[in-house]
Structure 1
Amino acid sequence: MRSDAMPLRAAILGTVLVLAGCGSGAGTGAGAADPPPSPRAPLEVGVPDPVLVPPPVTPPCDPRRNLTPSTLPKAGAMPEGTTMRAIQNRGFLEVGVDQNTRMFSAPNPDTRVLEGFDIDVAREVAEAIFGDPNRVRLRVIPPGQRLDVLVNRKVDMVVHTLTITCDRWQQVDFSSGYLEDSLRLLVPKNSPVKSLEDLAGQYVCVSKNTTPERRVAESKARVYEVADRTDCLVALQEGRVAAVHTNAALLAGLAEQDPLLKMVGESDLNEVSAIAVPKGETDFVRFLNATIERMKSDGTWQRMYDRWFRAALGTGTPPKTTYSG
């Protein structure tokens, strides 16, 4: 397969992409049997497998513990000297988001405006600051740059299915969790794979600089690294990889686009996604925690979950956080 198939991100949003003669295959009519899996093609000749730098040694942390929420001030009246007041004075909240992940952040097929669970979270924060959910400026960033834009203070916060990890906590600060999920695999329906252990020696597609990437690198499978997770769908359909590995909710968005794919594997490694902000902005963290708790208590979180995830993932409840400090 040619490597120029990789950039087909935008074309696969909201559609079912079936590539004739590639890894997924397609039946020729109702009830047609699935064809046998295609041979697993290696990466392009001369391109070595990515080498991951070992993670830094960091103190242990608990993703389900966070700073005690502040009392929410009246929208449009943020306290002087706070991070929120600086954002209010500027007139808009700048948020790093994705643009290719169905149910989280992707263009509406009719309006082309970004929508999804992450976008709704960002709008709730803008509502809490300004009293207007539209006072948000979305800045699209690839998964591998989610921390960079915060370290360099290019955005106020990132809402981008960013999992809390101890090493990331050394670079940025996190709010309390707004979504909890497990890691799973996406494979062709005729694949015998049930877990990561079944993929020894085979390529597994992951986004760069993510926790699934490190998990694959530490297994006997081989890392197929992409900048954007939607490239994994094309790689899987073309037979360049045997599986895609990431959070179940993200995989559900990919699986919706191709009925010849399925999710497998149950991970005991639950991941908690949270809003990330530049390091040291503890006043903003407490404000975000208060906003998230308000969303949980008034039913906003549940309405958002049911709208975006219930059909694909079933019923869900918000993650629980222990607050202190």
Structure 2
Amino acid sequence: MRIRAERASESPAGDPDRAGPGAAARPAGARRGARRLRGWGGVSAMAAACAVTAAGVLLTLTQAAPDPGRPGAVRDPASVVVAPKAAAAPWGPTDTCPSPEASLRPSTVDGATVARIKSAGKLVAGVDQNSFRWGYLNQARDGRLDGFDIDLVRAIAKDILGDPDAVIYRAIPTSQRIPALQEGRVDIVVRTMTINCKRLEDVAFSTAYFEAGQQVLAPKGSPITGYDTSLKGRRICFAAGSTAEATLSAQSYGSVPVTVPNQLDCLVRLQLGEVDGIVTDNALAAGQAAQDPSVRLVGSPFTREFYGVAMNKGATDLVRRVNKVLEDYRAGGAASPWMASYGVHLKAVLPDVSGPPEPKYRDG
């Protein structure tokens, strides 16, 4: 299974093996790292991914045509590597506000934001197009966006607009998630975004829809054993604006930080031998380990984090509406839409998840 990122001038149906800008100028370590690129269609496809995210460009994905035959998601036959079962872990870095994952109580009352979305006839969603099983261009579906996060976007669009395909998808780097909301470029961000106190200063969140934890991804045979002193002197990659950045800023264990705009860029650098390891959410890392048999998760998850749908801080009516969607999405136990999406996209790489996190609400 290959993941592909498109240049701004290409549609998702373009040539996945065409090299992006700068693909020919590989660093000296590329020849060594290229031996680990099995199953990826060569370095050129991944270099294109780096070229897109490094530019910080907000891409609009052309997917306006409805897909009436879509069954909801497609199981990918690719080989997988099962992530270790998450152990109980403390928060990290420490949050300073009580219950950051507590959100506004659900409501179906239309306010100014929901009314604007209805008037526009489209929900504008900030997503990832390079995170396997979360938000990615699925070649088995003619390059259409697919994944656990994408299923949730479709559920929100169906509730507000009556049509799961009434979405404009915009691919945004990790570091642009908050600016895209503040500047009104997107209505929502559904992109494995952890709820925490610092982010709550800038954006609003729904209730939590998934629980994850930070973990280390390293090549097989690496001396790195986890988030510990084995990181000393090692080049450790993370995405700008991620919780991994905050964690390593607080405790680096003597590692050498390497910052990139988008989390997938870390995997490319690891494959090219430019970094020694990655710190990221284990939910994302498990999907990457499933794609590349030369890397593995090491150690145990060392944080406990919750993903939420992010929205503009003033869009309280949209927050309440999304929380109502999430209530319905979780309902039904093993037969819920949440469990159906999990079974298709995530169970193979995160097998020990029993269900969605319980929602928490605050007064007001």
**TM above 0.5:** yes
Give, as a single letter, the amino acid of the residue that structure 2 aligns with 1:250: L
Asked if structure 1 preserves the Cα contact closer than 8 Å seen for 2:30 and 2:273, the reply is no
In structure 2, distance between residues paired with 1:232 and 1:58: 26
Q: Is the 8 A contact 2:215 2:302 kept in 1?
A: no
Residue 167 of structure 1: SS of its match in structure 2? helix
8 Å CA contact retained: 1:126, 1:136: yes
For residues 135-154 of structure 1, what are the structure 2 equivalents within 5 Å? 135-154=166-185
The residue that corresponds to 1:167 in the other structure is 198
Matched-pair contact (CA < 8 Å) for 1:163–1:273: yes
Give secondary structure in 2 for the equivalent of 1:232: helix
Which of these residues, 121, 125, 128, is aligned with residue 98 of structure 1? 128
1:65 aligns with 2:102: yes
Q: Which residue of 1 aligns with 2:276?
A: 242
CA deviation map 1:201-250 (0-9, x unaligned) = 21111111111012223312121111122221121122221111101111
Q: Establish whether residue 210 from structure 1 lines up as the match of residue 247 from structure 2.
A: no
Q: Hey, what's the Cα distance between the residues in 1 that align with 2:294 and 2:126?
A: 32
1:109 paired residue among 114, 117, 139? 139
Query: Retained in 2: the 8 A contact 1:24–1:261?
Result: no
Q: How far did 1:280 drift?
A: 1.8
* Alpha-carbon distance in structure 1 between the residues aligned to 2:260 and 2:32: 19
Relative to structure 1, is the Cα distance of residues 201 and 24 closer, same or farther in structure 2, using a 3 angstrom cutoff?
A: farther
- Contact 1:306–1:315 under 8 Å retained in 2: no
Matched, 1:87 2:117: yes
* Equivalent position of 1:254 in the other structure: 288
Distance 2:293 2:259 in 1: 24
CA 293–112 in structure 1, closer or farther in 2 if over 3 Å, else same? same
User: Aligned AA for 1:235?
Assistant: R
Give the distance between the partners of 1:207 and 1:22, measured in 2 at CA. 24
**Contact 1:24/1:260 (<8 A) preserved:** no
2:29 paired with 1:22: no
Secondary structure, counterpart of 1:94 in structure 2: strand
Question: 1:1-325 to 2 correspondence within 5 Å?
Answer: 21-23=31-33, 25=35, 60-70=97-107, 72=108, 79=110, 81-110=111-140, 111-197=142-228, 198-218=230-250, 219=252, 220-298=254-332, 299-316=336-353, 317-325=355-363
For 2:260 and 2:31, the matched residues in 1 are separated by 22
- Deviation of 1:23 (Å): 4.6
Runs of 4 or more consecutive aligned structure 1 residues displaced over 6 Å after TM superposition: none
Q: Secondary structure at the match of 2:207?
A: strand
Unaligned runs of 5+ in 1: 1-7, 13-18, 27-56, 73-77
- 1:180 is paired with a residue whose SS is strand
* TM-score computed with the length of structure 2 as normaliser: 0.71
Verify the 8 A CA contact 1:205 1:245 in the aligned structure 2. Answer: yes
Moved more, 215-224 or 90-99: 215-224
- Indicate how the Cα distance of structure 1 residues 24 and 181 shifts in structure 2: closer, same or farther if over 3 A, else same: farther
Please report how far the alpha carbon of residue 254 of structure 1 lies from its aligned counterpart in structure 2 after TM superposition: 1.4
Deviates more, 1:141-150 or 1:226-235: 226-235
Would you say how many aligned residue pairs link Structure 1 and Structure 2? 277
Aligned residues of 2:104 and 2:362 also touching (Cα < 8 A): yes
Gaps (5+ residues) in structure 2? 7-15, 18-28, 37-93
Q: Take 1:249 and 1:58, find their aligned partners in 2: how far apart are those partners? A: 21
C-alpha separation in 1, matches of 2:203 and 2:261: 21
1:60 positional shift: 1.4
Contact residue 95 and residue 196 of structure 2 kept, 8 A: no
**The structure with more radius of gyration:** 1
**Deviation at 1:84?**
1.3
Q: Which residue of 2 aligns with 1:43?
A: none
Deviation at 1:265, TM superposition (A): 1.8
Indicate the residue corresponding to 1:41 in structure 2: none
Distance 2:149 2:136 in 1: 10
Amino acid at match of 1:267: P
